[in-house]
């Protein structure tokens, strides 16, 4: 397995996986729309994406956004999207991708990595907790749709 931090030039490797990820989350398959979105994020340095390759085939990715914490006066990495193709799950690929995110956080002098997952995504929760992520018990998360 090989993991690479990708650039806009590797969108052809990312888009099919991202499309599968979106379908997993009950969104429409829309590769062109997703390509435009991802190109914008990568072109403007708003996201860092790592792709896992096996035999030169992309099999998983993790997409991270860069933000800040006013309270900590520091950078924060948001591990926003993590996806492994169904045929390659349970082989430690997610672990390896997250290791790259941890290294990204360290080299960018971030104070933490934040993430969210579905309440019923027990597999992901178990993985995150095994790695050392701690479920927040101090704060609730809220969202307001303005679209």
In a domain, 145, yes or no: no
pTM of this prediction?
0.94
Question: Which stretch of DSSP H or E encloses residue 21?
Answer: helix 11-24
As a whole number, mean pLDDT of residues 15-44 equals 97
Q: What is the pLDDT of residues 72-114, one digit of tens each?
A: 999 999 999 999 999 999 999 999 999 999 999 999 999 999 9
Cα distance between residue 21 and residue 134, in whole Å: 24
- pLDDT at residue number 139: 87
Structure tokens at 12: 């052809």
Q: What is the pLDDT of residues 132-146, one digit of tens each?
A: 999 999 988 888 889
The number of domains in the chain is 1
In a domain, 143, yes or no: no
In a domain, 136, yes or no: no
Q: What is the CATH number of the domain that holds 74?
A: 3.40.630.30
Domain that holds residue 115: 2-131
- pLDDT at residue number 144: 87
CB 38 within 8 A of CB 51: no
Q: What is the pLDDT of residues 54-78, one digit of tens each?
A: 999 999 999 999 999 999 999 999 9
Cα distance between residue 135 and residue 141, in whole Å: 12
Which residues are CB-neighbours of 92 under 8 A, at least 6 positions away? none
Cα distance between residue 31 and residue 16, in whole Å: 7
In a domain, 138, yes or no: no
């Amino acid at each position: 397995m090989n993991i690479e931090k990708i650039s806009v030039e590797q969108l052809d490797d990312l888009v099919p996986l991202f499309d599968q990820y979106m379908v997993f989350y009950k969104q429409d398959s829309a590769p062109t729309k997703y390509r435009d979105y991802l190109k914008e994020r990568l072109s403007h340095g708003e996201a860092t994406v790592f792709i896992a390759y096996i035999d030169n085939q992309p099999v998983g990715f993790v997409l991270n956004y860069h933000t800040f914490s006013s309270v900590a006066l520091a950078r924060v990495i948001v591990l926003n999207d993590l996806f492994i193709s169904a045929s390659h799950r349970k082989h430690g690929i997610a672990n390896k991708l997250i290791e790259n995110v941890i290294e990204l956080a360290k080299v960018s002098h971030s104070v933490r990595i934040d993430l969210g997952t579905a309440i019923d995504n027990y597999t992901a929760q178990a993985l995150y907790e095994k790695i050392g992520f701690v479920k927040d018990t101090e704060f609730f998360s809220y969202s307001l749709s303005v679209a």
